[in-house]
Amino acid sequence: MSTPPGFTGIPVDAVDFYDELGHHNDRGWWAANKDRYATSVREPVLALADALADEFGEMKVFRPHRDVRYSTDKTPYKDRQGALAQVSDGMGYYVSVGPEGLTTGGGSMHLTPDQLARFRAAIDAPASGIALEKLVDALRRKGFGIGGEMLKSRPRGVDPDHPRLALLRHKSLIVWRDHGVPDWMPTPGVTAKVRAEWRLVRPTIAWLEDHVGASTAPRTGRG
């Protein structure tokens, strides 16, 4: 899909919006700026999602409201607008805009126990483990951050001298690049830039699909 007609990019005001929200995260301020959120944030991100769907699939554009039921932080609104093109359970390509600007990336945002077991087994195996190590190192050299939830020490039973111990400590694996507020963000060219970033991430996503895949655990819950 080409860039949608009339799409002019992600406005700089989206960054300003979240910077101000950080100082006024309450329902009164949100109500007064709700139309601004729609115009400067949500509608442009939806348009970007539409433009990328041809290659990366339909994207989920996240709701702005936080789930505060089990959190000590009761601020009602998220501090950024994110969107995810999911390829498997908890895995996919990510883009967000927040108070520091635009971020692109992807990976495994969370892994179920059966996914985590396969993830660690694939890292432990020399061929697949070295392949992931090379992918991550290549992204790091290109300026990507490498993160995710990690153990403080090491998984039980893993040799402290394991050559890929750093990767084995991961409980999820995320790669990302912060762009700040580049000149191309408020232009139609943002579509091509995000597309190019995601293509750099694609081999890592493909590794996760091949070696981890969807959860095989039974679904729980009502309905």
Residue 1 lies in a domain: no
pLDDT in tens, 60-90: 999 999 988 888 888 999 999 999 999 988 8
pLDDT in tens, 104-142: 999 998 899 999 999 999 999 999 999 999 999 999 999
35: CATH: 3.30.930.20
Count of the separate structural domains present in the chain: 1
Residue 69 lies in a domain: no
Domain of 132, in residue numbers: 12-64+74-211
- SS3 assignment, position 113: helix
Structure tokens at 14: 């989206």
Residue 99 lies in a domain: yes
Residue 84 lies in a domain: yes
Task: Indicate whether this model's pTM tops 0.95.
Answer: no
For residue 208, count CB atoms less than 10 angstroms from its CB and return exposed for 0-12, middle for 13-18, buried for 19 or more.
buried
